[in-house]
Structure 1
Amino acid sequence: MQVSVDTTSQIERRINVQVPAAEIDEAVATRLQEAAKNVRLDGFRKGRVPMSVVRQRYGSEVRNEVVGEVMRERYVRAITDEALNPAGYPQIEATVNEAGKDLEFTAILEIYPEVELASIEGTEVERPVTEIGDADVEEMIETLRKQNASWQEVERAAEDGDQVNIDFQGFLGDEPFEGGSAEGHDLVLGSNSFIPGFEEQLIGASAGDDKEIKVTFPEDYQAEQLAGQEATFKVKVHAIKGQQLPEIDEDFISKFGVEAGDVDAFRAEIRKNMTREAAQAVENRVKQQVLEALKNANDIPVPQALIQQETDGLKRQAAQQFGLGEDFDVSQLPNELFAEQARSRVQVGLLLAEVIKSNELDASDDEIKARVEQLAEQYQQPEQVVEYYMSNEQMKTQVKSALLEEKAVEKLLEQATVKDVEMSYQDALAAAQQQSGDEAEEEDGDEA
């Protein structure tokens, strides 16, 4: 077997392989002889069909099978001998495939890039510093009360925060438009779930009122035929309901796993959960800044095969998120919606893998168990959660990967300048969410 490798790009290789004709022809002849023992043709007894007839009838099919097997086997041998690390499957094509001639084929493949990490030294990372105060705890309790509120019909005009039950129909000019009507719809005023300006015009309305509401659809509205259009909605108000907040009593407290029903224990549990959530938000914000700096400093080539794998994964996530069902064919979703985000994820993954490798980072079983115990604290039966994770190798691997990623970020953070910024609990959460949103918008912008 003769092998040569051409470098066609930083991460693409073309392998040229030549296999002696005798090897192929001999393998084809042997397989035809084996096949001839079981061939049945009219006019011949089983196993008595002349080889010339067998060859004429099955020779091409058998040769294709043999050539396919040889190309796959010699490809594996070639990448092993040449110490190539393929990323994804190759494109293999025979260039010479004739009896009596050496078999020649090419395999085009992408390989993992060789990464020489550039430092992120000089990067300024903003780290929020926040404390959970009594006012933050009380605000969270009020949020929980609102989430568990009931609605009671009231005999007064609608106020901000009320729930109104309405029928409505939308018109462009004098023509109603598709999807612009509903009957018996419950709408919370101030929820911003309708077009800007719609909910505000229902404040002051009473049950039995007929209202005519004029609004303008946003320029970036998802339905293109409505974007930027002025519309009129005819609205019938059926009922006004006020929000009834539950009392902070034993029944309410027990909904959140505080069995004693003690108010002080309830507040302590909320503070504990908020502290954990704030710590996660701070960690995520720092991590996002570090990874963005790492990407900017190391613009490495990314194999298309890995991008496609990640794209397919993002499609499946989107299908689940939007409830499209397990049978939904994700190939219907266009690649371009996910490709840039997928490329960014693969690039970060390759760079973090090199950080982990070059710094010889690892996570022990004790560290994995400690992290699982930390995760299990938020469940009612943490012991069962720990046992499930620690007895499942796949789950342990996921936790280990997360730990290694954290260690890699910590190692990178040593190269950066960290600036502590005092923030409230809400601001810290909002900052982390805002950065995630900004990065998603940047990816969409890069794609456009």
Structure 2
Amino acid sequence: MQVSIETTSKLERRLTVGVPAARVDSEVDSRLQKAAGNVRLPGFRPGKVPMKVMRQRFGAGVRQEVLGEVMSQSFQEAVVQEKLRPAGQPNIEPKNLDAGKDLEYIATFEVFPEVELAEMTGFNIEKPVAEVSDEDVSNIIEVFRKQQGSWNTVERAAEEGDKVNIDYAGTRDGEAFEGGSAEGSDLELGSGRMIPGFEDGIVGMKAGDEKTLSLTFPEDYHSEELKGAAVEFAVKVNSVTALEPAELNEDLFKLYGVEEGGEAQFRKEVAENMSRELKNAVEGKVKQQVMDAVVAAHEGLEVPKALIAQEVNVLRNQMFQQFGGAAGQNLDLKSLLPDDMFTENAERRVKLGLILSEMISKFELKADADKVRSTIEDMASTYQEPEEVVNWYYANPEQLSSVESKVLEDAVVEKLLENAQITEKECSYQEAIGQAQPQA
């Protein structure tokens, strides 16, 4: 087999591969001979079809099949021979496929870049420092009570946080406009669902009250026709309902998995969950800063377009599923969710993956089995049957691998933090939770 290599760009390579005709022809003959034993053709006894007839009837199809396999196999042999690491599938351009002549083709592809690790010392990290106070626990419990509460009709004037059922009709210069009217519409005051001033204008109204609101659409409103438009809304309130939080009792505790111990145990478990959330949020914030520093330190690293394209597809499918999409739906996802929505994030993720992989190798890190176990147990602790969740992870290689990858990433972060300048910043629980960002 003859191989020549050409570097067409920093990451792109072009291989010209020549495969002796004998390799293709012998494989074609071998397959035709095997097939002859099973082929039934009129005028010939089973298993007695002459090779000349086999070549005439089936030779072209078998040859095409063999050519595809030989090109795939010889490409793999060529990249091993040339010590190349292809990133993605090659683009194969046949040059000579004629029978009796050497097979020749050109394979164009990208290779993984050589990652030269930058010196990661002295970069700045701001670490939030917070505690879960009794007040924080009470505030979260109040949220739980509201989540499980009931909406009851009230005779008083509407307040922020109430729900109102309204009829409204919008006009611009005395003319109705599209989407500006509704009957029997439910609206939670303070939700920000309507344009500025609409919900505030209903505060103080009772069931049966009517009012005309003079408002202006925002300049950045999605409808071109209504951007900055002065309008009026005639509003009638049909009913006002207020949220009555659920009682702090055994029924509420059971809804959140606390069967025994009453309010004291409920508060204890809520506090433990909040502490776990706080720990994860702080770690997430610190990790995000470390990753930002890693990317900044390797700004010049070029990554293969093929890997970016693969990552774009991963992110697109994740978003599709996140918003309720199901596999098998006949949708053009690339039109619905175009590449440019994901390209920047995909490039960052690919770059980080390559750099972290090199760091893991350099630092000789391994996914510690005890750390993997504790990570899974920590995630499982929020479920009613933690042991079942733990067993599920260990029974699913793909899920287990994702946890091992996280553990390795965390090990890299821990290693890099040894040379970072860490400044602690005291803040409240809510501030620390709000600061945490999802990992790219």
TM-score with structure 2 setting the length? 0.89
Quick one: structure 1 residues 173 and 411, their matched pair in 2 at CA, closer, same or farther if it must change by over 3 Å? farther
Quick one: structure 1 residues 343 and 229, their matched pair in 2 at CA, closer, same or farther if it must change by over 3 Å? farther
16-25 vs 406-415, greater mean Cα deviation: 16-25
Name 2:383's counterpart in structure 1: 379
Quick one: structure 1 residues 167 and 432, their matched pair in 2 at CA, closer, same or farther if it must change by over 3 Å? same
Name 2:366's counterpart in structure 1: 362
Letter in 2 for 1:339: T
17-26 vs 309-318, greater mean Cα deviation: 17-26
Pairing partner for 2:430 from 419, 426, 433: 426
In 2, Cα distance between the equivalents of 1:244 and 1:127?
A: 39
Q: CA deviation at 1:345?
A: 1.3
Letter in 2 for 1:17: V
After superposition, the C-alpha distances for 1:384-416 in whole angstroms (9 at most, x for unaligned) are 322333343333222211111111111112222
What percent of counterpart residues are identical? 50
Name 2:129's counterpart in structure 1: 129
Q: CA deviation at 1:118?
A: 0.6
Structure 1 gaps, min length 5: 441-448
SS in structure 1 of the partner of residue 354 of structure 2: helix
After superposition, the C-alpha distances for 1:260-302 in whole angstroms (9 at most, x for unaligned) are 3522222222221111111111111111111011011113222
Quick one: structure 1 residues 33 and 145, their matched pair in 2 at CA, closer, same or farther if it must change by over 3 Å? closer
Q: 1:200 aligned to 2:200?
A: yes
Q: Superposed, which structure 2 residues align to 1:20-59 within 5 Å?
A: 20-29=20-29, 31=31, 55=55, 58-59=58-59
Quick one: structure 1 residues 30 and 273, their matched pair in 2 at CA, closer, same or farther if it must change by over 3 Å? closer
Q: 1:320 aligned to 2:324?
A: no
Q: Superposed, which structure 2 residues align to 1:18-417 within 5 Å?
A: 18-29=18-29, 31=31, 55=55, 58-171=58-171, 173=173, 176-223=176-223, 226-260=226-260, 262-299=262-299, 300-328=301-329, 329=331, 330-332=333-335, 333-417=337-421
Q: CA deviation at 1:216?
A: 3.8
Q: CA deviation at 1:30?
A: 5.0
Quick one: structure 1 residues 284 and 335, their matched pair in 2 at CA, closer, same or farther if it must change by over 3 Å? same
Letter in 1 for 2:191: S
Quick one: structure 1 residues 356 and 181, their matched pair in 2 at CA, closer, same or farther if it must change by over 3 Å? farther
Q: CA deviation at 1:347?
A: 1.2
Q: CA deviation at 1:35?
A: 5.8
In 2, Cα distance between the equivalents of 1:400 and 1:176?
A: 59
SS in structure 2 of the partner of residue 90 of structure 1: strand
TM-score with structure 1 setting the length? 0.87
SS in structure 2 of the partner of residue 212 of structure 1: strand
Letter in 2 for 1:273: N
SS in structure 1 of the partner of residue 366 of structure 2: coil
In 2, Cα distance between the equivalents of 1:321 and 1:39?
A: 52
Check conservation: 1:95, 1:106, Cα contact below 8 A. yes
SS in structure 1 of the partner of residue 166 of structure 2: strand
Alignment length, in residue pairs?
Answer: 436
Quick one: structure 1 residues 28 and 287, their matched pair in 2 at CA, closer, same or farther if it must change by over 3 Å? same
SS in structure 2 of the partner of residue 165 of structure 1: strand
In 2, Cα distance between the equivalents of 1:302 and 1:228?
A: 44
Q: CA deviation at 1:21?
A: 2.9
294-303 vs 5-14, greater mean Cα deviation: 5-14
151-160 vs 385-394, greater mean Cα deviation: 385-394
247-256 vs 310-319, greater mean Cα deviation: 247-256
Q: CA deviation at 1:51?
A: 6.6
Check conservation: 1:11, 1:112, Cα contact below 8 A. yes
Q: CA deviation at 1:429?
A: 1.4
In 2, Cα distance between the equivalents of 1:322 and 1:168?
A: 30
In 1, Cα distance between the equivalents of 2:252 and 2:302?
A: 55
Letter in 1 for 2:294: L
Check conservation: 1:249, 1:261, Cα contact below 8 A. no
SS in structure 2 of the partner of residue 195 of structure 1: coil
In 1, Cα distance between the equivalents of 2:264 and 2:208?
A: 45
Check conservation: 1:369, 1:390, Cα contact below 8 A. no
Quick one: structure 1 residues 41 and 381, their matched pair in 2 at CA, closer, same or farther if it must change by over 3 Å? closer
After superposition, the C-alpha distances for 1:411-436 in whole angstroms (9 at most, x for unaligned) are 11222211100111111112224xx5
Indicate the RMSD between aligned Cα atoms, in angstroms: 2.8
After superposition, the C-alpha distances for 1:43-97 in whole angstroms (9 at most, x for unaligned) are 8887888877765665543432222121111011112222222222111121122
Quick one: structure 1 residues 129 and 98, their matched pair in 2 at CA, closer, same or farther if it must change by over 3 Å? same
In 2, Cα distance between the equivalents of 1:140 and 1:36?
A: 76
In 2, Cα distance between the equivalents of 1:398 and 1:107?
A: 33
Structure 2 gaps, min length 5: none
SS in structure 1 of the partner of residue 86 of structure 2: coil
In 2, Cα distance between the equivalents of 1:378 and 1:340?
A: 34
